[in-house]
Amino acid sequence: MLTAQQQLFVQALEELNISQIKQLLADGLNPNFVDFEKGPVISVWSDGLFKWWEEVCEAYEAGQALSAEQKQEKLAIHLEILDTLIAAKVNLHLWDAEEIYGPLWDAASAACVPAVQRLLDENVDPNTKDEDGLTILSSISDLFFDCDFDEINWAEALEEEKQTLELLRSRGAKMSKELN
């Protein structure tokens, strides 16, 4: 059962209330706890990132793609929260027990290059495997394109998807078959 402070923290994460997040951390809250319904704190953060990506995708589908500035503006709060969590020493290496994914997979599946970059800069392993034995690179390639990284037709990719996968690759991410 979560303490009152932990409940407030989860709520603040969901509401993107950075001032409340910072206040609770300043009051000594340890961000390394698990909400048994929502997972580790970092997973609650990444759920908000998915909402950003859904908004970006919906704009593409409507033929009204967001400008780079609009995407950055909407993303800024998510990145500020991530930086705040990192500064508070949140465990970035936790994987959600139910879904078998961690924050790097989550950020990559949201095609969020700045978050992927930040997590890689914090030495999150890009070659962690999920319960199916897939690395993040293979899993995300399959998620986006129903194939492995080396089979992607880049003409079908959104720019964010391409940049995310290429960033992972440039930082040492391997396809599952390369590690077997």
Per-residue pLDDT 10s for the chain (180 aa) are 899 999 999 999 999 999 999 999 999 999 999 898 888 899 899 999 999 999 999 999 999 999 999 999 999 999 999 999 999 999 998 765 555 578 999 999 999 999 999 999 999 999 988 888 889 999 999 999 999 999 999 999 999 999 999 999 999 999 999 987
Which among 75, 73, 55 has a CA at the least distance from the CA of 64? 55
For 167, the token pair is 């960033």
> What architecture is the 4-179 domain classified under in CATH?
Alpha Horseshoe (1.25)
Residue 2, classified by CB atoms within 10 Å of its CB into exposed (0-12), middle (13-18) or buried (19+), is middle
Read off φ and ψ for residue 97, nearest 5 degrees.
-60, -35
Look up tokens 């500020």; give the residue: 80
- What pLDDT is recorded for position 39? 85
- What pLDDT is recorded for position 132? 84
Q: What is the DSSP track for 48-87?
A: HHHHHHHHHHHHHHTT-PPPHHHHHHHHHHHHHHHHHHHH
Read off φ and ψ for residue 125, nearest 5 degrees.
-70, 115
- What pLDDT is recorded for position 100? 57
Q: Which residues of 144-161 are buried (b: 16+ CB within 10 A; e: fewer)?
A: bbeebbeebeeeebeebb
